[in-house]
Structure 1
Amino acid sequence: MAKRKREVTEAKIERFIKEGRGQGTGKDYLPWLKIQDVPSEGRATRGVGWTTGRRHELMSDIERDYCYLLDYSDNVTDIREQFPLLPLEETLMIAEKLGIKHPADPKTGVPVVMTTDFLVTYKDKEYARTVKPFSETEDDRTIEKFEIERVYWETRNIDWGIITYQDLPEPLIRNIEWVHKEYHNEDVPELGHFAVQNLQRILATRLYDGEKISTACLACDEQLGLEIGTSLAMFRHFIARKIWSVDMNERIIPSLAAKDFTVNETVVSLAKGG
């Protein structure tokens, strides 16, 4: 297999612009950079977002974790990752005014299009966020690039800030990660409304009684004649959809009871889709 060329050239920048990268909103947004375009820092992820309904191009573990947090918020209506600071001439001018060397490709010397990790729409207002491990925020060259970013967004009256691991609530994020893929649960349309409603009633009763999550789910599978693991997947689905609630700020451990378990809605809300 031929190795993908990652060098930045003027022709490549023009091609990205023509492809519509960095344009659109919601499901139609196309990130400026895709995972295959750059070496990733950690485990790159292409998770399907709850908010946007598209696959996100996440270049590092911290980007993935921050995206989980954004996805879980009811007030976030759009998430645009790898957002380009265009036109390129503007960041070049900002860098010149600040007396900072503009980022360029080390092989071609062509100035690169800078990106902000996330442009988030929260309560109908846009926020630009750069997401980096704290150690990177102490590097002099990184700080210079941050300053270019800051000025770029300041001219647009958009709040810009830096997110580090210290800002991320680890238990909440790990819980979101655990339920995330079950948001779109294939068992919902397959089982049908009546069966899902019955499962919800039986499982909720056991959880309210303080049974361990894994024990209650196994018993529910056996009572309803379901494949083992179905009820646990549905438990995660109900939590992801916020049909059920538990204390998300403490790690959900299936071998323990569900803390602060509450039924928020009946299963009729699943009519909007599994």
Structure 2
Amino acid sequence: MLTKEQQLKWIKEGRGQGFLSKYKPFLTVKDNKSLNNRSSRVYGYKTGRTHHLFSDLELAVFLILDRNIFIKDIREQMPLNLKETEDLARTFSLYHPMKNGIAQTLVSTFFIVSEATNAPPVYVIRAISHTELENLNILESLELERRYWQKENIPWYLVTEKDIPLTVVDNIKWLYPANYSESKNHTPDKINFYYQQFIRNSHLSLIELSKYIDIQYSLEPGESLLEIRELIAQRYFVFDINISYRKITCGNIKLSEQDSWEVICNASNQ
């Protein structure tokens, strides 16, 4: 439970304000003692700061957002103006979250800034387990949250675990640690080397190819797989993210469409 004074203090401290690395979430893992062990603190490559996530679902949504090249900022645990939500609750006779008679600040899971042509420039996501939708009070507080953002002319979307493809999340979790590796020697020659390997061994799985390369070139076990993972994570190569990296074949891996790598395609055909 947050006292009225604590909520006002956090707002005055700048929580829920700022952008990219300067943004401060209203709630952090440390603040919320009622959370279970599914909470996590995860570094965001897009924002350059640590994000505070309160469930596996929130983590899954965050990883998908952080991987999306069109999304420019992710602000989690975004607070809604308490006075405005109380006014809306009275106007529409909706339940407002209370604890021991004290109104609690509503918090949206993610506030997103996007440059995608087929998406609004800003929008809000509320991530919640589908089992919680059976609770009438929760349903009314969600409607309150929706009306709040509607008043701000900002699209609001509800996401449950049923909306998250597990294979996509698994792939992103595999790629995530390699997004910005310390390795800086991904030269055109190295990229072209793996590109040729993918073409010549299109029938092999990614795991099979990496074992073959490690043996043929006297590399440490797993060394080539690590390099391939880094190249895919950093978008030099792409594959259908809906297919598990454990099942894709080399023929499924394509050279990125980045203009800077077109020369590699041309060279390989000569």
TM range (shorter): 0.7 to 0.9
Give the counterpart letter for 2:240 in structure 1: D
Paired with 2:136 and 2:45, the residues of 1 have a C-alpha distance of: 36
Give the counterpart letter for 1:58 in structure 2: L
Q: Which has the higher strand share?
A: 2
Query: Which one of 56, 64, 80 corresponds to residue 59 of structure 2?
Result: 64
Give the counterpart letter for 1:218 in structure 2: K
* 2:128 match: 132
* 1:181 match: 177
* Pair 1:206-2:197 in alignment: yes
* 2:221 match: 228
* Pair 1:110-2:123 in alignment: no
Deviations 1:193-250 (A, max 9, x none): 55xx444333332222223322322343455555433322222222222210112111
The percent of aligned pairs where both chains have the same amino acid is 29
Paired with 1:42 and 1:158, the residues of 2 have a C-alpha distance of: 32
How many residue pairs get aligned? The number is: 253
* Pair 1:77-2:69 in alignment: no
* 2:245 match: 252
Secondary structure of 1:129 counterpart: strand
RMSD: 2.3
Deviations 1:245-273 (A, max 9, x none): 1121111107x62352112268x88xxxx
Larger mean Cα displacement after TM superposition, 76-85 or 197-206: 197-206
Paired with 1:167 and 1:207, the residues of 2 have a C-alpha distance of: 32
User: How much has 1:78 moved relative to structure 2?
Assistant: 1.2
* 1:92 match: 86
Secondary structure of 1:37 counterpart: coil
User: How much has 1:33 moved relative to structure 2?
Assistant: 0.6
Query: Which one of 41, 49, 52 corresponds to residue 54 of structure 1?
Result: 49
User: How much has 1:34 moved relative to structure 2?
Assistant: 0.6
* 1:37 match: 31
User: How much has 1:25 moved relative to structure 2?
Assistant: 0.9
Paired with 1:133 and 1:42, the residues of 2 have a C-alpha distance of: 16
Give the counterpart letter for 2:29 in structure 1: I
* 2:145 match: 149
Seen in structure 2, the aligned counterparts of structure 1 residues 53 and 221 have a Cα distance that, compared at 3 Å, is farther
Structure 2 length-normalised TM: 0.84
Paired with 2:244 and 2:70, the residues of 1 have a C-alpha distance of: 23
Structure 2: stretches of 5+ with no match in the other structure: 262-270
Contact 2:38 2:54 (C-alpha < 8 Å) held by counterparts: yes
